[in-house]
């Protein structure tokens, strides 16, 4: 997968992965991380997720990074938020109060951009990446030790031989392989969601397990 794939998805509004409501797992399990109010939370591959608004409402500062400028501009316009922009380093910054979204490539992120973050929320980042890109993604997160020490991760697992992603299938073993050497992993919740995934049903997938992990 390359940048052109995601730009095409946003340009053609093929964004079935976007939700028009807050994620129920964020609302239920975020508090288990004990992230101090006022702390800065990193949201990688953020798209135009409303979960950033939930974090702001709960008293956090938020930094997101997103490859598609369409997604970023949609987020601010759809939520009636004024913003300022400026360019610095590899990114264009979109800023509104305690929220900043960086337009650019996640893999270009450095300490300069997210060094102040103390937690990470990953609902749709790891599962957006094919297997061959995941280790590089996690290794990048781990470089920022303070931020990577508190993460809420949401994954999906299904038979990918029937339908390929994205979103891609990520198993419990996959999560442990990526994080066990440096982090403690807790499976906080799992549930069957095939009834919510019409496209997967039509493709012949009969089961999708959604899981929530806290990684510390």
Digit-coded pLDDT (tens) for 139-158:
999 999 888 899 999 999 99
- What is the reported pLDDT for 17? 56
Tell me whether residue 136 is annotated as binding: no
- What is the reported pLDDT for 154? 97
- What is the reported pLDDT for 2? 66
Using alpha carbons only, give the angle 80, 152, 32 rounded to the nearest 5 degrees.
105
C-alpha separations of 131 from 37, 164, 181, 188 in Å: 34, 12, 18, 23
- What is the reported pLDDT for 82? 97
Cβ burial 13-46 (10 Å sphere, 16+ → b, else e):
eebeeebeebbebbeebbeebebeeebbbbbbbb
C-alpha separations of 88 from 85, 103, 158, 187 in Å: 10, 11, 40, 38
- What is the reported pLDDT for 1? 52
Q: Which segments of the chain have a pLDDT < 50?
A: 18
- What is the reported pLDDT for 5? 72
Structural domain containing residue 32? 3-215
Tell me whether residue 54 is annotated as binding: no
Tell me whether residue 66 is annotated as binding: yes
CA dihedral 143, 60, 154, 102 (to 10 degrees): -60
At 98, is the secondary structure helix, strand, or coil? Answer: coil
Tell me whether residue 6 is annotated as binding: no
DSSP track, 160-187? TTTS--SSPP--HHHHHHHHTTT--EEE
Q: How far apart are CA 56 and CA 62, in angstroms?
A: 7
- According to DSSP, the β-strands at 185-192 and 91-96 are unpaired
pTM of the predicted structure, to 2 decimals: 0.93
CATH number where 110 lies: 3.40.50.150
- What is the reported pLDDT for 10? 61
- What is the reported pLDDT for 19? 62
Number of domains making up the chain: 1
């Amino acid at each position: 997968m390359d940048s052109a794939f995601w730009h095409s998805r946003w340009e053609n509004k093929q964004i079935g992965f976007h939700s028009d409501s807050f994620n129920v797992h964020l609302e239920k399990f975020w508090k288990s991380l004990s992230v101090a109010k006022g702390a800065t939370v990193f949201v990688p591959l953020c798209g135009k997720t409303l979960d950033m608004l939930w974090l702001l409402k709960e008293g956090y500062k938020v930094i997101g990074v997103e490859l598609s400028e369409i997604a970023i501009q949609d987020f601010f316009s759809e939520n009636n938020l004024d913003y300022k922009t400026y360019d610095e380093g590899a990114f264009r910054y979109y800023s509104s109060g305690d929220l900043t979204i960086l337009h650019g490539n996640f893999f270009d992120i450095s300490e300069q951009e997210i060094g102040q973050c103390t937690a990470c929320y990953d609902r749709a980042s790891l599962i957006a990446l094919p297997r061959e890109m995941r280790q590089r993604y996690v290794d990048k997160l781990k470089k920022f030790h303070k931020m990577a020490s508190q993460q809420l991760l949401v994954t999906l697992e299904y038979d990918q031989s029937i339908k390929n992603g994205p979103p891609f299938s990520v198993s419990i073993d996959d999560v442990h392989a990526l994080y066990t050497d440096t982090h403690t992993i807790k499976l906080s919740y799992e549930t069957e969601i095939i009834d919510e995934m019409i496209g997967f049903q039509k493709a012949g997938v009969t089961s999708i397990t959604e899981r929530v992990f806290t990684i510390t």
